[in-house]
Amino acid sequence: MKKLLIVLLLITGSFGLFACDDSTDTSLFDFRFTKTPGDTMFDFDGNYTPPELVIDGRDDDEQWQLASPAIVYGHDNRVTVRFYRGETALFVFWDVQDENLLTRGFNDGDDVNRGDSVELYIDVRNDGTSRPNEDDVQINIGVHGYTRILRGMGGSWGSWNGLLDYAIHIDGVINDPDVSDNGYTVELMIPYAQLGMERDDDIGIALGHVNKVDIGNTPGVDYEWYGWVHQGTFVDPQNPSTYVVFRGNAFYARDDVPKDPIAVTGTVTNQDGEPVVEALVSLVEAGRQTTTDATGLYHFAEVDPNESVTLRVEKTDHITYETVLQRQVLRAATEVFTRNVQLIDTTISAQSTFVGTIENVLEGKLEGVRIEIAGQETFTDANGQFSLTAYLGTELTVMVSKSEYHTVSYPIDLGIIIVAGTTDLGTLSLPNVPSQLFYFGGQRGITGFDTIVYRELEGFRFIFEADRTFPLSAHIELFVDVGASFAGRDQTNYRLDFRANGTINIIHFGGGTNTDVQASGITLDVSHAAEGAWVSAFVPYDFLGVEP
């Protein structure tokens, strides 16, 4: 491997370059020479990109005032890193606090990440593959100036001959236990041409930090590896699909990268299929309103798909229609999101006969369950079935209740109603009363939640209720030990992140691959209000591989 390395001597320190930890043992060689500031020995077209900043391990160039927000991570959150997009290169600056600077020898390769060092991983195409591929880069830089740099290759890491420039400033003495050190800083320049990217491209990034505490070579004893947790989610360097997206000068979880505005449109008709003219249509939280035209069409341009919004349709002598357009649905739309609406006209004789079946996951079909719709009520028969005719002039919700069971209500989708006919609501679940209500959170500024869990027909239902704001950047972590194995974090263990913005993240421990949210069948409904928040999560039995 041939690349440019800058080695500067400052006080008792040296400067170098390197990459991150993984399970393979890779031997690398760096061509090394002494370079002094202003030396242009290797500065010629095709070999070296002259730096826009003075690469000296210090952040006193004025460009650093325009850097990204600082990321804090590593051992005891004692590492700070910032990024700066130059005209021809990406610059990275680490500031590491460390009272005992230690290395594993003075050589490049795997020993670098067994001593005090920092790590950067880049998913250049930001394609979020599950394993490293050819557009993924790993750079480990040791406090002593030696390096380990790699590139993805068929799902693992291989050598890379990219040309980089970097410098380290040391405040202390390496490998001297009699000296109390303060730490070190690393300044790195990666030319865009070496990465195969443009200045404004989105890239995925992950970070690492190794803190060596003793002279031995036992991981977890003599040195520890620390990663980066972004908004409560671990960013796994070995899994680029978890990398954080660096767009412009900001960092986003992959599901939170801002999408461009879209149009929201649709047609409003009554139960006879006739267009409803001059109905008032609102996007409530966005403060936008319009009216339907002669064909019942409404249209909103330039709608932000990155936030959920309430769609409300109303007109005199009609039942108001209201639904939440969830951000994940809006973000999935390509330029236009269409939602057609049936607005019930109360001047037309509007009624429907609702039928369905009530079941309990443990007891099967239930007799004597009270069913209430629009002020009308009935009870299920011996087969758990019901039939109830109701006028469509009030809020359409089916309330299901019985003594010693957990009362539930199900909204009725106006789109499925057969006016003057039979509307089949299918099989509805009536769960047992939860055995215990518990509370978690509520400390150190974290939102507290009252929580209940019960079994539905196809999975577990988790309800979380808070009496104060649930910030959009926050999330609930649910840990599941399948089969109550009480083993370590193996493939029987999951962490499910239910985010306040309505998205879901799955972590399958033990190297498990059951992490596809769409295939999982897990659903999440989050409602925010000034006085608190309500979160409902459904986890299918099939996803966990368990029986009801």
Report pLDDT for 8. 30
Report pLDDT for 442. 56
**How many helical (H) and strand (E) elements, i.e. helices and strands, does the chain have?**
4, 39
User: Hey, what domains does the chain have and what are their CATH numbers?
Assistant: 62-255 (2.60.40.1190), 262-342 (2.60.40.1120), 351-429 (2.60.40.10), 438-544 (no CATH)
The encoded tokens of residue 205 equal 């990034």
CA-wise closest residue to 18 among 1, 34, 40 = 1
pLDDT tens digit at each of 548 positions of the chain? 222 222 232 222 222 333 333 333 322 233 343 444 445 544 545 555 678 999 999 999 999 999 999 999 999 999 999 999 999 999 999 999 999 999 998 998 999 999 999 999 999 999 999 899 999 999 999 999 999 999 999 889 999 988 899 999 999 999 998 899 999 999 999 999 999 999 999 999 999 999 999 989 999 899 999 999 998 788 999 999 999 999 999 999 988 899 999 999 999 998 888 999 999 999 999 999 999 999 999 999 999 999 989 999 999 989 888 888 988 789 889 899 999 998 888 887 678 899 999 998 888 999 999 999 987 889 999 999 999 998 775 568 899 999 888 888 888 887 788 888 899 999 999 988 775 566 666 554 556 788 888 888 888 989 888 877 777 777 888 888 887 766 667 888 899 999 888 889 999 988 788 889 889 999 998 887 767 788 999 999 999 988 87
Return the bridge partners of 139, or none: 120, 149
* Unique residue bearing structure tokens 């498990």: 512
Report pLDDT for 353. 94
Distance between CA atoms of residues 281 and 275, nearest Å = 14
Q: Give the burial class of 74: count Cβ atoms within 10 A of its Cβ; 0-12 exposed, 13-18 middle, 19 or more buried.
A: buried
Beta strand pairing status for 262-269 and 341-342? parallel
Distance between CA atoms of residues 120 and 122, nearest Å = 7
Report pLDDT for 454. 84
Contact present, 174 and 13 (Cβ < 8 Å): yes
CB count in 10 Å sphere of residue 176: 13
Chain-centroid distance, C-alpha 42? 43
